[in-house]
Amino acid sequence: MNERAGEPRGTPGYRYDEQHDAPPARQVSDVAVERFEHIFEVDPKLMTVHVAQQLFPNWDTLRIAAGRGDHLEWMHRHWAGTVLSGQELLDEIERESS
């Protein structure tokens, strides 16, 4: 593992080494970076004093993000049969007023 400030520390626990090579981080704001599309992470520089980061293989990061999406989908189905699209209604309004 690299020893840069704020980067996850620890011994890789997953047998495929390539799983520990996360894509390079793209700075998306003062406080957040993006390594996988639409998955934002707190900038590691901000996690150097009071919290320690865990080492994650890439598949686990993606699994957690996908799990979150599944949970939100489940919650929609739990509360209603369908979810209406605001964009569709907005387009209708624009068509009617033009």
Partner 1 sequence: MTAQLTDRVLDELIAALGKDYVLTSKTARMNRARVPAPFPVHRWRERVPDLVVMPATTDEVATVVRIANEHRIPIVPRDGGTGLTDGAVPERRGIVVDVKRMNDIKEIDLENRTCTVGPGINMLKLNEVLAKHGLIYPDDPASYPCSLVGGRIGTSGWSLVGSRYGHTRDLVLSFEIVLPTGRVIRVGDGGGRKVSKSSSGYQLKHLFMGHQGTLGIATEATLKLYPKPEAEFSPFWAFADFDSAYACVGRLARAGVATFAGAVLFDEWKVDYLRRDDEAYIPQPEDVRALVCAVCYGNSDEVRAGGKRLMRIARDAGARYLGDEISQGDWAARHDRYATPLHGRTADGQVAPMSWHCEDAAIAYTDLATVRTAWHDIVAGLRNKHPVFDDWGMFFYTSADTGVDYLTEIDVGIWEQELDDASWAAWVDAKREIAAVALRHGGSISACHGSCREGEVDLVPEELGGGYDVMLAVKRSLDPNNIMNPGKYGLQRAYEDQP
Contacts of range 56-62, beta carbons closer than 8 Å, 24 or more positions apart: 56/8, 57/12, 57/13, 57/14, 57/16, 57/19, 57/20, 58/19, 58/20, 58/21, 58/22, 59/19, 61/22, 61/35, 61/36, 62/36
Q: Which of 37, 84, 95, 98 binds partner 1 (CB under 8 A)?
A: 84
Q: Which of 1, 31, 62, 66 binds partner 1 (CB under 8 A)?
A: 31
Total chain residues near partner 1 (CB under 8 A): 33
Q: Which of 17, 78, 95, 98 binds partner 1 (CB under 8 A)?
A: 78
Nearer to partner 1, 25 or 32 (CB): 32
Q: Does 82 bind partner 1 (CB under 8 A)?
A: yes
Nearer to partner 1, 15 or 38 (CB): 38
CB of 8: closest distance to partner 1 in angstroms?
Answer: 14
- What is the distance between the alpha carbons of residues 33 and 10, in angstroms, rounded to a whole number? 21
Q: Does 47 bind partner 1 (CB under 8 A)?
A: yes
